[in-house]
Amino acid sequence: MKANNRSFGAWGEKMAEEYLKQKKYKFIDRNFNSHYGEIDLIFFDKLKNELVFVEVKTRCSQNFGYPEDSINPKKIDHLQKTINFFLEKNIFFQKYSYRLDVIAIELGENKKTLIKHLENIALV
């Protein structure tokens, strides 16, 4: 992966983090890793009283489709395994229900940013 792709991805994660904070979600962690993969962001949705594991996908064009199109069953399986690992390591959070969300960010013409929040993309 090129350095500029990494920094663009990090920018997208920061945009997603700010978006969720504006929605009054409570920040818990970022870039949580297991040998299955990484959870980009972890928040707590106080209104629904549940953990929110967030996959962030950022695109600067639609040449490869919409950002959320890259979430396939294999990716969801790896995310679920990473979520399970997080819950094993953080027993305190096991008492809460949880969901897997996607934040899809598109940087369009004139640097206009479009953020889509897709809640509960998989039965977790």
Is the residue at 70 inside a domain? yes
pLDDT given for residue 40 in this prediction: 96
Task: Report pLDDT digits (tens) over 65-114.
Answer: 666 777 888 999 999 999 999 999 999 999 999 999 999 998 777 778 88
39 burial (CB, 10 Å; 0-12 / 13-18 / 19+) is buried
Is the residue at 112 inside a domain? yes
Is the residue at 124 inside a domain? no
Is the residue at 55 inside a domain? yes
Domain that includes residue 34, residue range:
3-118
pLDDT given for residue 124 in this prediction: 42
Domain count, the chain: 1
CATH of the domain at 68: 3.40.1350.10
Is the residue at 123 inside a domain? no
Is the residue at 49 inside a domain? yes
Task: Report pLDDT digits (tens) over 35-68.
Answer: 999 999 999 999 999 999 999 998 776 656 666 7
